Chains A and B, each alone.
Chain A
Amino acid sequence: MEEALLLARVQFGLNIAFHILFPTITIGLAWLLVVFRVRYERTRDPAWLGTYKLWVKVFALTFAMGVVSGITMSFQFGTNWPGYMNKVGNVAGPLLAYEVLTAFFLEATFLGVMLFGMNRVSGRVHVASTIIVAAGTTLSAFWILALNSWMQTPTGHVIENGVLIAGSWLAVIFNPSFPYRLTHMLLASGITASFLVAGLSAWRLLKAPNDPSAAKTLRFGVHIAAVLVPLQIFVGDLHGLNTLKHQPAKVAALEALWKTERGAALTLFGIPNEKEKRTDYAVMIPKGAALILAHDADAELKGLDAFKDHPPVAPVFFAFRIMVGVGVLMLALSWVGSWVLRKKTPRWLLWCFAAFTFSGWVATLAGWMVTEIGRQPWLVQGILRTADAVGDASGAEIGASLTGYILTYAALLLSYMVVITHLSGKGAQ
């Protein structure tokens, strides 16, 4: 049973991590495509058309990866976590269904028009299709983030005969962490897409320094990132304060605050030692945690000892530092890049951006690990434990499906990265 639970968690974690890679790109990239498409419509400059056509190919491929991995997830609720639907299905189900009804069909249908219909519909209708697809991806994020946030900070429900039903749908959807999480994720997507565009354009420029289209998209991506990254840091801080209010155990874990104390120090680095309840080799800033989290050097912060249930410390602690670390590097690179690119395009800078092509993925995955592992041992905070939701598929069955998924995902991810690098290496035609 223990083994099956662990395997089920590994499988779902793998699936959801694989899945989120692709929407993270498409949500942002869809809006960048709108910009490219509208600019072509206004200027009739073939360079913009070439740019659009190149990036729409990347988009289509990414979208397909998102669709197929998303279908897999919708099935895994039933195959692996029947307890989830039995307990909170009356709340979670409709939110998922609204995503399908309002967003999936819209995206999928107009994606067809967008990809194949350029010669069959008028320019206006094609621009509209591009906008509809972008709106669809954002709407999709709206519903999924509403559900995820509700699982973190559930409100608006009542309990009837042991199962949850929605008392107020507005309170369910607009639960306390939703606005922060949605904004945080949309910005993450914009940043991931802009670093992808900048990185692949830089890659193209390394091969063909005189490609005007790649030079345009590089600048475009870098400038957008330079605006979005600082915005993200601001929103991330608000999100953190919101988490402190509603899920203090998560914050205690990610800061490795073992004991409740006044004026707690901020641990920059270290290795959390869960057995001894301390952080080995810690580098600390006195009163730092109190200052950052409570904006008061002598404030009392609750430590892990104050909670009966708290998440495992090390994964959350490290994931949080990876997210912040990558974020800081992205800030530095986008600002330095914006400054340098005013006058020239040195090769070292192109290499830097090429290396940061998929940096958004690293930060986004690390961020999701903080928030999802940080919710453990709960599946729905305070309502349903992960261990109580798992199905009765045997360890052997899950092992078999997990092996299949791992092989498929590894092959798909590799193919995906090779193909989009290859596509952008050829440049816009």
Chain B
Amino acid sequence: MIDLPIIFTVLMGAAILAYVVLDGYDLGVGMLMPAASRDEQNRMVASIGPFWDANETWLVLGIGLLLVAFPLAHGEILGALYLPVAAMLVGLMVRGVAFEFRIKAEGWHRELWNWLFWAGSTLASLAQGFMLGRYITGFAPGFGYWLFALVVAGGLCGGYVLLGATWLVHRTDGPLQAKAVVWARWGLLWVALGIGLVSLGTPFASETVREKWFDFPRTLGLMVLPLGTLFMGAWVWFSLGRSDWKPFAGAVAIYVLAFLGLAYSLFPFVVMDRLTIWDAAAHPSALVFMLVGTAIVLPFIIGYTFYAYRVFRGKVTGGDPYL
């Protein structure tokens, strides 16, 4: 008998990771807008133009899988995160449409939409980080836990800036690329601080996490994750300015490692300390129907996503390649 909740946990985790990495770089590019000149802003937006829509679809898939596979957790989690979810949605909405509007606008309108693109990206990123912070601690009440969530919010923004900057290093050249190298360094320091604080804070914030990580000799094996993260951080730092693609690859690797650490901390809970994936799972009839569809369709999705990235490979040159 296959364990359906496990399969769906892996699928949902993969979708959320894909979302965080993919939309992360375009949110990061959005947050970096004010640091660039007008010409550069156009190139930055052009670099994410063909992709942002599909990137956001991974969020819908992640939330969709949560809703389908773990309906009990879906209501619990989204209910507890009511206002930050609303804030994130407003942010995503504003930036999504600002993206389209700014291409068509002229004069001060364009400035306004540029500003809204930045503001929406920042609001959505902060809200996502805040949600993550609340989620890790199982929505515990108390000032300290809210502060923890704020720190995570800041850390995730840094992470998105790192992804966005290294994406620009990969996709642009000339003075903009040189700027992006500097942005990436700042982003990396910011991430290091964020990951450090979260890694230290989480064991204090949650007993469950503490027991899982500080349990010799398992702790030694687990050290692969922090050490790997440290190594990848150094790799990003030293490849910046030397390679176009290594910094982005390194940043993605940092995300994967941090995500694995988080997944290990939480498993088997889908709501920390309260609901396990088996408690929250939907009826097998729903899961099997879903699994069949996913197994058939997901390879196609991955296939044509690769195709789209191949079509738009190479450096972004023009300011406005929209048709």
Do chains A and B stick together as partners? yes
Q: Verify A400–B323 contact, CB threshold 8 A.
A: no
Residue contact A412 to B93, C-beta cutoff 8 Å = yes
Residues from chain A with Cβ under 8 Å of B37 in the complex? none
Query: Which residues of chain B are near A115, meaning CB under 8 Å?
Result: 49-50, 322-323
- Chain B: interface size category: 35 or more
Q: Does B293 reach chain A (CB closer than 8 Å)?
A: yes
Give the docked Cα–Cα distance between A345 and B69 (Å). Answer: 57
Chain A, Cβ-Cβ closest to B46: A116
Q: Mark B80-98, 1 if CB is under 8 A from A, else 0.
A: 0111011101101110110
Q: Quick one: closest A residue to B76, CB to CB?
A: A82
CB pair B96–A121 under 8 Å, yes or no, is no
Bound together, the chains give a CA A247 to CA B14 distance in angstroms of: 42
Interface residues of B in 284-317 (CB under 8 A from A): 285-286, 289-290, 293-294, 297-298, 301, 304-305, 308, 311-312
Contact partners of A401 in chain B: CB under 8 A: 82-83, 86
CA of A161 to CA of B68, assembled, Å: 18
Residues of B210-261 at the interface with A, using a CB-CB cut-off of 8 Å, are: none
The 8 A CB mask of A103-122 against B (1 = contact, 0 = none) is 01110111111011111110
Number of contacting residues on A, CB 8 A? 70
A117 shortest CB reach to chain B, Å: 5
Cα separation A86 to B86 with both chains bound (whole Å): 21
> Is the beta-carbon distance between A397 and B82 smaller than 8 angstroms?
yes
> Is A56 in contact with B79, judged by CB distance below 8 angstroms?
no
> CB within 8 A of B57: which of A105, A121, A166?
A105
Stretch at the interface among B100-108, B138-146, B189-197, B199-207: B100-108
Residues of B close to A415: CB separation below 8 A: 97, 101
Q: Distance (Å) between the CB of A100 and the closest chain B CB? A: 5
* A165:B293 contact, CB within 8 angstroms: no
Contacts of A68 in B (CB 8 A): 92-93, 96-97
Task: Give the one of A98, A105, A423 with max B CB within 10 A.
Answer: A105
What string of 1s and 0s marks CB contacts (under 8 Å) between B275-291 and chain A? 00000001101100110
| Chain B residues positioned under 8 Å from A112 (CB to CB) | 49-51, 53-54, 308, 312
Contact partner of B53 among A67, A117, A166, CB < 8 A? A67
Contact between A101 and B89 (Cβ–Cβ < 8 Å)?
Answer: no
- Cα separation A217 to B63 with both chains bound (whole Å): 40
- A57, A110, A115, A169 — most chain B CB neighbours (10 Å): A115
Q: Assess the A400–B83 pair: CB atoms within 8 A.
A: yes
Q: Is A97 an interface residue (CB 8 A)?
A: yes
Interface membership of B59, Cβ < 8 A: yes
Contacts of B49 in A (CB 8 A): 112, 115-116
> Are B68 and A102 in touch, CB under 8 angstroms?
no
List residues of B (59-87) whose CB comes within 8 Å of A's CBs. Answer: 59-61, 63-65, 67-69, 71-72, 74-79, 81-83, 85-87
- Known A-B contacts A89-B71, A97-B290; the reply to A108 vs B78 at CB < 8 A is no
Chain A residues, Cβ within 8 Å of B83: 397, 400-401
Query: Is there contact, CB below 8 Å, between A117 and B50?
Result: yes
In whole angstroms, what is the CA distance A169 to B290 when docked?
A: 11
**B118 nearest CB across to chain A (Å):** 16
Neighbour of B298 across the interface among A74, A86, A101, A393, CB < 8 A: A101
Nearest-CB residue, chain A, relative to B73 = A78
Contacts of B92 in A (CB 8 A): 68, 71
Given A71-B59, A71-B60, A93-B67, CB of A60 within 8 Å of CB of B100: yes
A48-85: CB near B (< 8 Å → 1, else 0) gives 00000100110011011101111110110111001101
Q: Cα distance A61–B101 when bound, in Å?
A: 7
Q: Would A101 and B68 be within 8 Å (CB), given that A117-B311, A400-B83 are in contact?
A: no
If the complex has contacts A60-B100, A90-B282, A101-B293, are A109 and B54 also in contact, measured as CB distance less than 8 A?
A: yes
Q: What residues of B have a CB within 8 angstroms of the CB of A119 in the complex?
A: 321
Q: A64-B97, A105-B54, A116-B321 are in contact. Are A71 and B68 (CB under 8 A)?
A: no
CA–CA, A115 and B53, complex, Å: 12
Residue in B96, B105, B286, B312 whose Cβ sees the most chain A Cβ within 10 Å: B286
- Alpha-carbon distance between A108 and B56 when the two chains are bound, in angstroms: 9
Closest to A420 in B: B104
Min Cβ gap B180→A in Å is: 21
**Contact status of A90 and B286, CB under 8 A, knowing A74-B64, A82-B75, A393-B79:** yes
Interface: A408 (CB within 8 A):
yes
**Is A206 an interface residue when CB atoms closer than 8 A count as contact?**
no
Q: Contacts A110-B304, A112-B312, A404-B86; is A78 near B53 (CB within 8 Å)?
A: no
- The answer, yes or no, to whether A235 is at the interface (CB within 8 Å) is no
Residues of A with C-beta under 8 A to B183: none
The reply to whether B96 and A64 contact each other, CB–CB distance below 8 Å, is yes
Check A97–B75 contact: CB distance below 8 A: no
Answer whether residue B130 sits at the interface, using C-beta atoms and an 8 A cutoff.
Answer: no
Q: With a CB–CB cut-off of 8 A, which chain B residues contact A75?
A: 63, 78, 85, 89
Residues of B within 8 A of A94 (CB): 68, 286, 289-290, 293
A interface vs B, CB < 8 Å?
Answer: 53, 56-57, 60-61, 63-65, 67-72, 74-75, 77-79, 82-83, 85-86, 89-91, 93-94, 96-98, 100-102, 104-106, 108-113, 115-121, 160, 163, 165-166, 169, 391-393, 397, 400-401, 404-405, 408, 412, 415-416, 419, 422-423
Other A-B pairs beyond A109-B305, A112-B53, 13, CB < 8 Å: A74-B64, A94-B289, A100-B61, A105-B301, A109-B54, A111-B53, A115-B50, A165-B283, A169-B289, A400-B86, A401-B82, A404-B90, A419-B101
A-B pairs with beta carbons under 8 Å apart, 10 shown: A77-B74, A96-B67, A97-B294, A101-B298, A106-B301, A115-B323, A116-B50, A121-B311, A166-B289, A400-B83
8 closest A-B pairs by CB: A82-B75, A78-B78, A112-B50, A93-B68, A89-B71, A401-B86, A108-B54, A90-B286
